[in-house]
């Protein structure tokens, strides 16, 4: 083979077979994580697991609400550091302005297929924009935003809805990221994504609406939350917003919010300790405390219907999975009580239906058990029973809830008067003595009973009193003596 032929051969190999120039300016579209999607280092205090959260203190800031036509917003006041306060209020205003700009469809965020439905020059004919605080404890303020827009397209309406959130460290006015939610020694992305993946798996492909499984459509596999994932906080957990920023979700022109309860990521929840300080950052003293929903809300029993003397008796047992079995075993059988109530009423009035419900749940270390029996005839005839146990398994008496010397009966008397409407209470002290209660995260549910007299039938009352009505300083729940 001559040198020329060899040269020609090599030239052909090197040049003749090269690919034509690719006209694409972005030849590699393969999805890669963007810098802003990476997880940042946690801010604030170094919080290490296991974390215990007996209760949380309400931030003593004022929420100044502002209502305009179609727009609800608010600002805050009460921080000692005015610079931080202004920074927070400016961020809230900026977010609201951003949501207002979406009235013009050209400014709408890049929802999948949005311009195939809503041309760019369209202006919303109806819209509602708003914001509200979702969590305001232990120097953290979490705020949810929403925007709802209706566009008229050739006589048909197209709707767009948006959810957004801002989460502030009130000690600095800085915004939180996902990295701040869990302890410094936890794998935050894994902990939270594992839970989100479970919610998604439960929800996929189901057209039916269930409370514990929002409707989700995936266009691609879920690959975990991002470092800049939108979220807000509530007293029950973290709420992650999935929208156009997470294109694996295909939920039309709306976002979907998925909830990770605290119970699923305890003892790694750091948010209650992340930004606590030794000195107060507020103008006013702290006066409010609450529990968070740290316990399992999942139910472990079912409904059943039985027929007694021709009456359908619906039995419903809502038992949180974390209430110890020993408490469940000692629950009274409410169905028998409902049968008794039917026996008492059925010869006097026709009965439409009857109910026998049992509830068991936990708040903090406290176990609350209650039953609700009712018979629907000419009137709703019902009986309630409730009991609360402390962490040692002891029954909590009403007086145990309050510090020595606090006249809680005065408050309860006022609450009974407020809740009894027009009916006068003929024996207030007996009613006060009859009070039973269960604890909620933010208050106490009371029920009281007076037996029938010659002049009236049996008297039932149920009412709810927020802890703030009594004052944090008067409740032993928040002042262990």
Partner 1 sequence: MKKYLLIFVLFFLLGCQKPIEQPTFTMETFPRVDGSTVTIPLSEAICAKLTGQTIEQVRPYILHTKTHSAYINLIDRKTDLIFVTYPSIDEFKYAADSGVEMEIVPIVSEAFVFLTHKNNPVESLTLKQIQEIYTGKITNWKEVGGPDLPIIAYQRPVNSGSQTGFLDLVMKGLTPMNPPTEWVMAGMGDLIEAVANYQNQPDSIGYSYYYFVVDMWGNENVRLMKVDNVYPSNSTITSKQYPITTNYYAVFRKSEPADSNVRKVVNWILSDAGQKLAEDFGYVKVR
For residue 307, how many other CB atoms are within 10 A of its CB?
Answer: 8
CA distance 91 to 94: 5
CA distance 377 to 381: 8
Rounded to a whole number of angstroms, the minimum distance from the CB of residue 308 to partner 1 is 21
Rounded to a whole number of angstroms, the minimum distance from the CB of residue 354 to partner 1 is 15
Rounded to a whole number of angstroms, the minimum distance from the CB of residue 243 to partner 1 is 12
Total interface residues for partner 1 by CB under 8 A: 60
Work out whether 113 is an interface residue with partner 1 (CB under 8 A).
yes
CA distance 338 to 332: 12
Rounded to a whole number of angstroms, the minimum distance from the CB of residue 34 to partner 1 is 10
Q: Which residue from 114, 265, 375, 450 is in contact with partner 1, where contact means CB under 8 A?
A: 114
Work out whether 117 is an interface residue with partner 1 (CB under 8 A).
yes
Rounded to a whole number of angstroms, the minimum distance from the CB of residue 230 to partner 1 is 17
Q: Residue 92 or residue 181: which is nearer to partner 1 going by CB?
A: 181
Residues between 246 and 305 that touch partner 1 (CB under 8 A): 247, 250, 299, 301-303
Q: Residue 136 or residue 236: which is nearer to partner 1 going by CB?
A: 236
Q: Take residue 389 and report the two structure tokens written for it.
A: 């146990």
Q: Which residue from 63, 91, 175, 197 is in contact with partner 1, where contact means CB under 8 A?
A: 197
Q: What is the largest CA-CA distance in the chain?
A: 127
Binding mask 203-242 for partner 1 (x = CB under 8 A): -xxxxxxxxxx---xxxxxxxx------------------
Work out whether 121 is an interface residue with partner 1 (CB under 8 A).
no
Pairing of strands 353-363, 311-319: parallel
Calculated CA dihedral for residues 150, 152, 156, 162, nearest 10 degrees: -20
- Which helix (H) or strand (E) segment is 387 a member of? strand 380-389
Work out whether 16 is an interface residue with partner 1 (CB under 8 A).
yes
Pairing of strands 436-439, 289-290: unpaired
Region near partner 1 per CB under 8 A, out of 199-207, 256-264, 435-443, 454-462: 199-207
Work out whether 344 is an interface residue with partner 1 (CB under 8 A).
no
Q: Which residue from 7, 9, 90, 94 is in contact with partner 1, where contact means CB under 8 A?
A: 9
What are the DSSP calls for 158-218, one per residue? Answer: EEEEEEEEEEEETTTTEEP-GGGTB-TTS-HHHHHHHHHHHHHHHHBT--S-BTTB--B-B
């Amino acid at each position: 083979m001559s040198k020329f032929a060899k040269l020609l051969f090599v030239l052909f190999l090197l040049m003749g077979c090269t690919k034509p120039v690719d006209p694409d300016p972005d030849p590699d579209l393969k999805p890669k994580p963007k810098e802003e999607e990476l997880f940042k280092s946690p801010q604030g205090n170094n919080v290490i697991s296991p974390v215990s959260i007996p209760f949380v203190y309400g931030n003593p800031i004022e929420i100044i609400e502002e209502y305009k036509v179609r727009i609800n917003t608010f600002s805050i006041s009460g921080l000692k550091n005015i610079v931080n306060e202004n920074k927070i209020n400016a961020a809230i205003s900026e977010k609201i302005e951003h949501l207002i700009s979406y009235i013009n469809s050209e400014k709408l965020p890049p929802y999948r297929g949005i311009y195939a439905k809503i041309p760019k020059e369209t202006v919303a004919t109806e819209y509602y924009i708003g914001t509200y605080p979702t969590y305001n404890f232990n120097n953290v303020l979490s705020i949810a935003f929403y925007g709802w827009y209706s566009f008229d397209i050739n006589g048909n309406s197209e709707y767009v809805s948006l959810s957004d959130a801002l989460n502030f460290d009130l000690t600095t006015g800085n915004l939180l990221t996902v990295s701040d939610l869990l302890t410094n020694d936890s794998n935050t992305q894994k902990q939270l994504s594992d839970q989100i993946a479970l919610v998604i798996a439960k929800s996929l492909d189901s057209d039916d609406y269930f409370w514990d499984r929002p409707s989700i459509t995936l266009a691609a596999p879920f690959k975990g939350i991002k470092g800049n994932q939108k979220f807000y906080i509530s007293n029950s957990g973290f709420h992650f917003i999935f929208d156009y920023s997470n294109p694996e979700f295909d939920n039309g022109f709306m976002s979907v919010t998925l909830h990770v309860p605290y119970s699923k990521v305890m003892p790694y929840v750091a948010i209650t300790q992340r930004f606590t300080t030794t000195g107060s950052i507020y103008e006013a003293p702290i006066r409010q405390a609450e529990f968070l929903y740290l316990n399992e809300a999942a139910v472990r029993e079912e409904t059943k219907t039985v027929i007694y003397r021709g009456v359908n008796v619906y039995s419903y047992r809502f038992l949180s999975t974390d209430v110890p079995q020993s408490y469940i075993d000692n629950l009274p059988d409410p169905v028998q009580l409902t049968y008794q109530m039917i026996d008492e009423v059925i010869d006097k009035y026709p009965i439409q239906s009857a109910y026998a419900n049992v509830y068991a749940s936990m708040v903090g270390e406290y176990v609350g058990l209650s039953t609700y029996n009712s018979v629907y005839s000419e009137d709703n005839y019902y009986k309630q029973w409730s009991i609360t146990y402390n962490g040692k398994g002891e029954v909590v008496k009403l007086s145990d809830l309050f510090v020595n010397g606090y006249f809680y009966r005065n408050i309860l008397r006022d609450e009974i008067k407020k809740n009894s409407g027009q009916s006068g209470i003929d024996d207030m002290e007996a009613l006060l003595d009859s009070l039973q209660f269960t604890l909620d995260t933010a208050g106490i549910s009371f029920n009281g009973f007076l037996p029938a007299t010659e002049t009236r039938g049996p008297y039932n009352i149920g009412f709810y009193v927020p802890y703030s009505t009594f004052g944090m300083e008067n409740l032993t729940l928040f002042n262990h003596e």
